[in-house]
């Protein structure tokens, strides 16, 4: 089975954590049989979060897309921030629905730090090369709250990000300057408020043995140590695997897809703990089987 992977992992990469040990980037092993695949980033629209605007300054969506694409090409993670943040990519070739898993997504989960992202797929039905056709969710192990929306507000100065949802809930994405002291609201979002809509999973964030833990989900999500994770011979995480047979429509009904051309990963948890900050999905690359 021939594989293509977008990822550079010639050495262990250590990145600053989100909170205490929330987003340490563990060593990702190199697979010499897996060459790079370069995807095109069509839209990088994260929710507010601790890695947003950190060590980069972009003013437009085009610049944000180029930033995210460059990160992926260099083998670094792209953070999607809190609930609803997403990245949309165009695959360089059609992904056909075959028996078993059809493609993979590289995240940076490790023990007690899974930050699941829900995966959406779309076929270029009209053939225009633009991701403007119907999106389908890939069903995972947990029941999701669909059509959930959160509106985030730009603060008057660098600090907490206020939000409210479409179910009379509200809260903040906590500002933690001791870890990340830049503005968490994306600089390239011109509006003073923006709304993100998707499917939300109930958090599995617990405080145990004096440590905050983001527990694993069984299967079906990016950036998650699930039973669909692929590991190398030494038991080190490689990527999560996805099956197009798990596609559902907006009503939750199973549908049949022969192939897809676009993939969207969307942060699926709305949870913020002051010690570690927001639960935020990270994407490092893509794999085709």
The tens digit of pLDDT for each residue in 24-68 reads: 444 445 554 544 578 999 999 999 999 999 999 999 999 999 999
pTM: 0.90
> Which has the closest alpha carbon to 10: 99, 76, 82, 106?
76
Position of tokens 């007690």?
A: 112
Helix or strand (DSSP H, E) at 23: none
Q: Which whole-number Å values give the CA distances from 278 to 83, 184, 211, 238, in the listed order?
A: 9, 11, 15, 24
pLDDT at 14 over 80: no
Helix or strand (DSSP H, E) at 161: strand 161-165
The span from the CA of 78 to the CA of 75, in Å, is 10
pLDDT at 111 over 50: yes
Q: Is 189 exposed, middle or buried (0-12, 13-18, 19+ CB in 10 A)?
A: middle
What residue ranges do the domains of the chain occupy? 4-288
Q: How confident is the model at residue 11 (pLDDT cuts 50, 70, 90)?
A: very low
Residues near 112 by Cβ (< 8 Å), separated by ≥ 6?
211, 213, 214, 215
Q: How confident is the model at residue 15 (pLDDT cuts 50, 70, 90)?
A: very low
Q: What's the whole-number mean pLDDT along residues 245-265?
A: 96
The span from the CA of 224 to the CA of 142, in Å, is 13
Q: What's the whole-number mean pLDDT along residues 212-240?
A: 95
pLDDT at residue 151, rounded to an integer:
98
């Amino acid at each position: 089975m021939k594989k293509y992977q977008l990822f550079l992992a010639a050495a262990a990469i250590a990145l600053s954590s989100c909170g205490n040990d929330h987003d340490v980037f563990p060593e990702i092993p190199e697979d010499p049989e897996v060459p790079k695949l370069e995807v095109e980033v069509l839209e990088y629209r994260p929710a507010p979060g601790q890695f947003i605007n950190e060590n980069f300054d972009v003013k437009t969506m085009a610049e944000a897309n180029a930033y995210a694409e460059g990160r992926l090409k260099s083998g670094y993670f792209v953070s999607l921030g809190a609930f609803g943040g997403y990245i949309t990519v165009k695959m360089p070739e059609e992904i056909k629905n075959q028996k078993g898993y059809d493609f993979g997504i590289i995240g940076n989960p490790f023990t007690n730090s899974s930050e699941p992202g829900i995966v959406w797929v779309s076929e270029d039905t009209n053939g225009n090369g633009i991701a403007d056709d119907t999106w389908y969710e890939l069903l995972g192990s947990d029941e999701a709250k669909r059509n959930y929306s959160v509106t985030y507000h730009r603060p008057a100065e660098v600090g907490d990000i206020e939000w409210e949802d479409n179910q009379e809930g509200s809260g903040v994405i906590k500002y933690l300057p001791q870890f990340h002291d830049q503005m968490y609201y994306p600089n390239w979002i011109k509006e003073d408020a923006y709304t993100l809509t998707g499917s939300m999973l109930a958090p599995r964030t617990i405080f145990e043995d004096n440590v905050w833990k983001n527990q694993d989900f069984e299967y079906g999500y990016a950036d998650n140590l699930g039973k669909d994770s692929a590991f190398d011979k030494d038991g080190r995480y490689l990527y999560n695997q996805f099956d197009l047979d798990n596609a559902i429509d907006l009503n939750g009904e199973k549908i049949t897809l022969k192939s897809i051309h676009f993939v969207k990963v969307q942060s699926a948890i709305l949870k913020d703990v002051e010690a570690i900050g927001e639960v935020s999905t990270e994407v490092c690359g893509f794999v085709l089987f």
